[in-house]
Amino acid sequence: MTKAKFGFCIPAWTGAGPWDHHLDYKLIKNAVVQSERLGYDSLWIPDHVMLGHNNENYEAWTLMAALTQITERMHLGTLVTCPTHRTPGMLAKTAATIDIISEGRLELGIGAGWMRTEQIAYGLPWSNVAKERIGRMVDTIKIVKGMWENDSFTYKGQYYSVEDAICTPKPIQKPHPNIWIGGGGEKLTMKMAAKYADGWNIGDADPEGYRKKLEVLRDHCTKQGTDYDHIQKSRETYVLITDRPEDLEATKNWGNASMAELLQQLKYNVKVPESSLADWKSKYIMGTQKEVTDRVAEFIDAGVQLFQLYFIDYPTFSTMDAFARDVIPSL
């Protein structure tokens, strides 16, 4: 079986698990130090300004800058950054600086954006039309890469433009840091991943669904004339190792409560039926050590090369430790 890599997703908002009740930077620092000691490959941070319980969360790029200074080996990335949170030129400059201060460890994850309420609240551009949001993402990627790769760069796009924009010093990584595109939209988002990405990520998919998504990605690569094998394939998910039924029940209750709160934050006047434990186990990777190991192996067989993991029992390190100690070596 091909060896997969495993990254740690930073719980950068309040309520990232059933037992996570407040935001604490010291806890995050300790978790990051522990994850590097255990051998995890990378760190990933969601890019939001209003997320989690009571909309309490840290800003992604500021947090990443701080974490570059307490890590030595792990790559650091956004999962994923929203193209409307910063102008493309400022994103290029910020990302280049992060790559330099991390000594070449940046991974730039980018998506089209989906959280309408935070965009409107912060006075940021928003469109209900997915094609327009994806167009902003593509303009952003073109500008970021252009500024990284040229001494001076001019570009006039449909949504963003730059004129004689200079980004020096350049990123350390050559030709540039990896650009990841997140999202499972098969007609547009995955087409753009095939055309522009070094890595592709999706959150919700069982092994069979993930395999089918990769068939779509491969087809887009063939049509675009790009190298399918060049693109790294990842899966973002939650994981919990436990043999206690009450832990699984707590996770189910937290998942349902979090979904209800998110819908309220998004101001969607809909009531979604609560998901069963079986539903959550199909979405997440939960159970005994053997059940978790078997499920991860199924995803690897489906084509996942990198797992970006939220540990459900944070702020404890129980699953983080057990996964590194018992699951990874057995795959």
CATH for 317:
3.20.20.30
- Cis preceding linkage at 125, omega within 30: no
Residue 168 lies in a domain: yes
Query: Which residues in 79-148 belong to E strands, given as ranges?
Result: 106-110
Residues 296 and 257: their CA atoms lie apart, in Å, by 26
Is pLDDT above 80 for 187? yes
Give the pLDDT band of residue 329 (cuts 50, 70, 90).
very high
Q: In this structure, is residue 251 part of a structural domain? A: no
The amino acid present at 304, given as its one-letter code, is: V
Give the span between the Cα atoms of 137 and 181, in whole angstroms.
9
Sign of the alpha-carbon dihedral angle for 239, 207, 205, 226? positive
Q: What is the mean predicted confidence (pLDDT) over 162-186? A: 97
pLDDT of residue 270: 74
Q: Which two tokens stand for residue 17?
A: 């698990």
In a domain? residue 176: yes
In 3D, which of 227, 175, 173, 176 has the Cα closest to residue 200?
Answer: 227
pLDDT for 112 beyond 90 = yes
Determine the average pLDDT of the residues in 248-268: 89
Q: Residue 68: what pLDDT? A: 98
Say if residues 235 and 299 touch (Cβ distance below 8 Å): yes
Q: For residue 256, what pLDDT is reported? A: 93
What one-character DSSP code corresponds to residue 57?
B
Mean pLDDT of all residues in 159-175: 98
pLDDT at 30 over 90: yes
Q: What is the pLDDT of residue 266?
A: 83
Residue 248 has pLDDT above 70, yes or no: yes
Average confidence score pLDDT of the chain: 96
Q: Is 216 helix (H, G, I), strand (E, B) or coil?
A: helix
Q: For 21-25, 36-40, 61-65, 145-149, which range has the lowest pLDDT when averaged over its residues?
A: 21-25
Stretch 115-140: mean pLDDT: 96
- pLDDT score for 268: 79
Taking the CA atoms of the chain, what radius of gyration do you get in angstroms? 19
Per-residue pLDDT at 263? 86
The token duo for 214 is: 């990769």
Total number of domains constituting the chain:
1
Contact 64, 23 (CB under 8 A): no
Q: What is the pLDDT of residue 2?
A: 57
Q: Quick check: is 313 in a domain?
A: yes
Could you tell me the pTM of the whole model?
Answer: 0.95
Q: Looking at residues 185-211, what average pLDDT do you find?
A: 96
For residues 281 and 251, what is the distance between their CA atoms, to the nearest angstrom?
10
**Could you tell me the CA-to-CA distances from 205 to 200, 202, 215, 241, 318 in Å, in that order?**
14, 7, 14, 20, 25
162-190 average pLDDT score: 97
- Dihedral of CA atoms 248, 249, 254, 255 in degrees, nearest 10, equals 70
Q: Is residue 307 part of a domain?
A: yes
Task: Characterise 113 by phi-psi region: left (phi > 0), alpha (psi -120 to 50), beta (else).
Answer: left
Is residue 205 over pLDDT 70? Answer: yes
Distance of alpha carbon 23 from its chain centroid, rounded? Answer: 19
In a domain, 270, yes or no: no
Produce one character per residue of 55-93: b if its CB has 16 or more CB atoms within 10 Å, e if not.
bebbebbebbbebbeebeebbbbbbbbbbbbbebbebbb
* Both structure tokens of 277: 């434990």
Whether 265 is in a domain gets the answer: no
- Percent residues over pLDDT 90 in the chain: 92
In a domain, residue 261? The reply is no
pLDDT at 273: 84
As a whole number, mean pLDDT of residues 129-143 equals 97
Residue 218: pLDDT band (50, 70, 90) is very high
The boundaries of the domain holding residue 65 are 5-242+285-330
- CA distances to 10, 13, 45, 127 from 58, rounded to whole Å, are 10, 6, 9, 24
